[in-house]
Structures are given as C-alpha cells and as structure tokens.
Amino acid sequence: MITLNRIPAADPVLEAESFWWQPLAVVGLKVLVVFVIGLVGTMFMVWFERKIVAGMQNRVGPNKAGPFGLLQTLADGTKLFFKEDLIPEKADPFVFRIAPFLAFVPAFLVWAVIPLGGDFTNGHDGTVTWFGEVTRVQLADPPIGVLLVLAMSSIAVYGVMLAGWSSGSKYPLLGSVRASAQMISYEAALGLSLAAVLMTAGTLSTSGIVSAQSSITNWHLLSTGIVPFVVFLIAMTAELNRPPFDLVEAEQELVGGFHTEYSSIRFALFFLAEFMNVISMSALLVTLFLGGPQPLYLGGTDIFAVLGPFGGTAWLLLKVFAFLYMYVWFRATLPRLRYDQLMNLGWKVLIPISLGWFILLAALQVARDSDVSGLRYSLVVAGCLIGIALAYMLFQAALNVARRNREAEGAAY
Amino acid sequence: MELLVFVLASVMVLAGAIGVIAYNNPVHAALGLVLTLFGIAVHFVSMEAHFLAAVQVIVYAGAIVVLFLFVIMLLGVDRAEDLSVEPFQIQRPLAVIVGVAISGLVIAAVVRGRSTLGEQLKSGVPGDDNIRELARSLFSDNVFAFELTSVLLIVAVVGTVVLTRRQRGGASK
C-alpha cells in the first residue's frame, strides 16, 4: 500500500488516504488516452484540413496513402523523421534545440484540463466510476483549471520567440517579433472575454464550468450574451496564428516565419504543436461556451444517449468538429489581414468591447445578487447603457484625436 | 514526496538564479530567470497556492520576461558583453552593498516571522476557497492599495508614451 498525503488533489481519485493499483491504472490510462488523442487527432486534423481546402478549391487533395489519403500525414511525418536535421551556422545551438519543445509541450498540457466526457446528464457532476474508483474523464481537474490554459498559452510564446531569435537569420527574427507581439496583444482580449465566463460560472475549474451549463439557456454562449464568445473566437484564431491572422508565417514577406531555418523533426514538432493547438483550443472554446460534454436535448431527447457513458464524449467531439470545420473554412476563404489592421482590431476593437461587456455583466450580476426589484433592475440596465454610450463616445473621440495628430505629423495611409 | 518536490524546485530556482548571473548572453540570462520563476511556481503548487502559481507563470514568465526578451531582440543587444570595461565605476561596489542588504533583510524577515508564518499556514484553506479568500482580502481590506497600484501603472504607461513622443515639424498648429 502506498500512502500519499497532501498531494494537491487534481483528481478525486487521488484524494484517498491510501490506495492500491486501481487509481494508478486509472491515471495511467487517462494519460495514455490524452496522449493518443493529441497525436492521432492532430494527424487527422492535418488530413481533414487538406481535404476540405482541396474540396473548396475544386481539387482532389491527398488520396494516395491509405483509404481517402487518411495516412498521408503519417507518411509525411515519417519522411520528416528521416530528413537531415540542419542547424544553421549562426544559430544559437542550445536555444535552437529547445525552442520546438517549448512550443510542443504546452500544446499537449492544455489537454490535461479539458473535460473529455463524463456523465453530465440530469444534473450529475460529471464523475464516472472506473475500476471501482470515482474519477473524471479529464486528466486533471485543478482548482485553477482555465488559468492553466492561459499559462500554457503564454509559455507557447517562448517557443515561437526563441525559435525566431536563435535561428540567427533575419526573416525568422522578424517573424517571431511579429508573432509574439500578436500573441501578447490578443491574449488580453482572450483573457477578458474568458473572465466574463468565469464570472458567470463562479469557478475556475473546467469541470465546474461545464456543470454550470446544464441546459442550453445556461450555456455561456447565451448567458454571457454572444459578445464574449465572438471576441474569444477571434482572439483565439489570432492566438493560434491561423488564417486570416497568419501574419506570423506570411510566406510572401517572411519566407516561412519563425520556423524558416527549421527542418526535419524539429519542424515537425512546430507543425504538430500548431495543429494540436487548433484542436485543444477548439475543445476549450466548447468547454467554456457550449457546455463541453453536456448533451443538447433535441425535442427532449439526447440523441447520443444510446452510447451510454460515451454520450458526453460524442457530444464534445461533435461540437469540436464544428469548430474545426469552421477554422478550415476560414483558411479557405478569408484573405490575410495587414499588420496594422491586425493591431487595430486587437487593441481598438476587441479589448474595449470585451472590457466593456465584462463590466456590464459584472454590474448586472451585482444587481441580481442584491435581489433588486423589477423597476430598480431596469434602472441598473439603463444606467449601464448610458455608461457604455458615454465610454464609447469618449473612446471614439480619443481615437479621432490620435488619428488627427498622426496625420498632422505626416502619416499617410 | 513533499521533500522531493521541494528539493527539485529549489534546484530549479537556484540553477536559474545562478544562470541569470553567470551567462554572458542576455537571452540566456533571461531564460535562466524563467527557470527560477517556474521553480517558484512549483513551490507555490506544493504549498497548495494554486492560484499564485498560475499567476506567477502567466504574469512573470508569460508577460514580463517575454517583454525582456522582446526588448533584447528589438535593441539587438543579444550579444555577449565585454565585462572588463566598466562605464560606471561605482556601479559594482554599490551592487554588492545593495545585494548584501537585501539578502540580510530577507533573512531577517524569515527569522523574525518564523513563528507567525507557521500559524497562518494551519488556518489556510485549500482549493477554490483559496482564490475566494484572496479576492476577498484584495477587494475589501486592501482595495485602496490595489486601486492605487493600477493608477500607478497607468501613470507609468502614459508617462512613457509622452516621453517617447517626439514633436515633429508641422505637429504644432
């Protein structure tokens, strides 16, 4: 018997005073599943994207390796393994070597806090029983949940930044400076729209956030008003460096962006991290705004109820899939933004909107918590609206003054 | 278990701290700083201060050191410096004095506060309540200091913008 006290209990399975092999088996299995989902999901995501984009452009796309070309990514990955691993002469060897891992490891760790399934139907709290142990279908459920994701996305900036710097070449450096500026700018909007969800849910833990969205009217998509969802979606696309925000690797300007000098398996790691981030951030979006594994009752019935304990997972996959398709759609249809447009959108549109909406939600929450009557409540709403209108006018005035100053100084655009 | 975590995290902190001083290349030194901050975050986790750990990583590692790196890259000072040339003669002796003084202060604080520190740990609440407790203290008892800090930051930002802004010809009408 192993006795472990005072382990930070990130999983109900580890809270027992003493335990034998079952909890270890459960945790081991979960680690394995998360790892495999991460890798296999990424593999199919690459295939999916190539196939859909090909379809939208009236091409066939990968169709040689395996049925429907499903194994194309595997073939490409194997090829990358056997290519020569080149380290440029002017590169900083140590930093050049660790940068891909700094991009790759955070992408994996995000999976740890995402509820991948579980029984949330009829007000259950999402725990399941495996091998006689009560656990959650997520690798870890720390009390800080969502903050871990934010921490990981801020670590991922290092991968991009150091890769560009350590390459010892100007295009990667420019690409990485652009990338990190973009990621830092949009992290603010991302965090602010996320804060609206956290305030409505009243908890930071991802399983708690899912539990709070027990019916479609409770989904944070609706209960926070659509605005945080839209801001989060845009900020997330920018954070992932996906089109139309893929200035980081604008081929016409920067060759390939921060990973220009990378080849072989190191490049594969960047590639893998990028696609894995797309999937894990979509899963996060679904967790935060669309109830994660919560079923959607169509006419009073849960269509995945036949799958029993895997119903939640099926719902999660379905919802994530919709967003993955959307990302591919973005890539196939939207042209890339210009750099100043990107920064304008981030700082002058998304951040003010998400901040204003957050304050509005906070005011309404306070009014609701203090149980004011109908008339008083509408007064609060009216006050909020007037406040927002005033703030908007002030903000526009400030922007106009700034623009006039710039134009007076001879800026032309 | 706890001892193992403590030793590993402390090794991280110390190795990072030594790295910050010993590396000639500013980028490597900044990475050493990241290692130190991570070690401190691990310490926070092992003391069940999850929120502080997350904030440590998000704010210090994720924002502040990234900013350092940004400045280093943009200014192009990412080469090893020749340390034998000293532009300010008094800088090094002063640095030694300040360093010793700060170490002394920290040691004195730990020694004096040893008894009270233990007592507060016992009354600590783990998990979600931890965050709630922190928020309550920040937004009720210490709200004035909290708001003042944010005003200070705004003043710093505005000041920087005003100082770096050059008035070019034709700007003053």
Contact status, residue B1 vs residue B55, Cβ threshold 8 Å: no
Measured N-to-C along each axis, helices A226-239 and A170-201 cross at an angle, to the nearest 10 degrees, of 160
Distance between CA atoms of residues A184 and A177, nearest Å:
11
Closest by Cα among A128, A44, A121 to A304: A121
Distance between CA atoms of residues A315 and A295, nearest Å:
6
Distance between CA atoms of residues B63 and B153, nearest Å:
15
Measured N-to-C along each axis, helices A93-109 and A21-56 cross at an angle, to the nearest 10 degrees, of 100
From the list B25, B70, B127, the residue facing A143 with the nearest CB is B127
Amino acid in the structure at residue B83:
L
Cβ separation B54–A6 shorter than 8 A: no
Quickly list H helices, A212-263. Answer: 220-223, 226-239, 251-254
Token reading at A29: 């299995």
Chain B: closest CA distance from residue A99 (Å): 11
Place of tokens 């929450």: A365
From the list A92, A165, A410, the residue facing B73 with the nearest CB is A165
Distance between CA atoms of residues B132 and B2, nearest Å:
25
Rounded to whole angstroms, what are the CA distances from A299 to A95, A296, A309, B76?
56, 9, 21, 63
For chains A and B, what is the number of CB pairs under 8 angstroms? 91
Angle at CA of residue A110, ends A105 and A112, nearest 5°: 105
Closest by Cα among A143, A144, A151 to A110: A151
Is the pTM here over 0.90, yes or no? no
- Chain B contact set for A165 (CB, 8 A): 27, 69, 73, 78
Closest by Cα among A109, A112, A53, A74 to A273: A109
Tens-level pLDDT at each residue, chain A (413 residues): 333 334 444 555 565 555 667 777 777 888 888 888 888 888 888 888 888 888 888 888 888 887 888 888 888 888 888 888 888 887 788 888 888 888 888 888 888 888 887 766 665 666 666 666 667 777 777 778 888 888 888 888 888 888 888 887 888 888 888 888 888 888 888 888 888 888 888 888 888 888 888 777 778 888 888 888 999 999 998 888 888 888 777 667 777 677 778 888 888 888 888 888 888 889 889 888 888 787 777 666 667 766 666 777 888 888 888 889 998 998 888 888 888 888 888 888 888 888 888 888 888 888 877 776 777 778 888 888 898 889 889 988 988 888 888 788 776 65
For residue A224, what is the enclosing H or E element? none
Distance between CA atoms of residues A392 and A353, nearest Å:
9
Peptide bond connecting A142 to the previous residue in cis, omega within 30 degrees of 0: no
Distance between CA atoms of residues A64 and A225, nearest Å:
46
Top residue of A147, A162, A184 to mutate, by most chain B CBs within 10 Å, is A147
Its CATH class, for the domain covering B1-80, is: mainly alpha
Overall size of chain A counted in residues: 413
Judged by a CB distance cut-off of 8 A, whether residue A222 touches chain B is no
Rounded to whole angstroms, what are the CA distances from A161 to A102, A155, A274, A372, B125?
10, 10, 14, 50, 38
DSSP 8-state symbol, A219: S
Burial of B148 (0-12, 13-18, 19+ CB in 10 A): exposed
ipTM higher than threshold 0.95: no
Closest by Cα among B41, B47, B55 to B127: B47
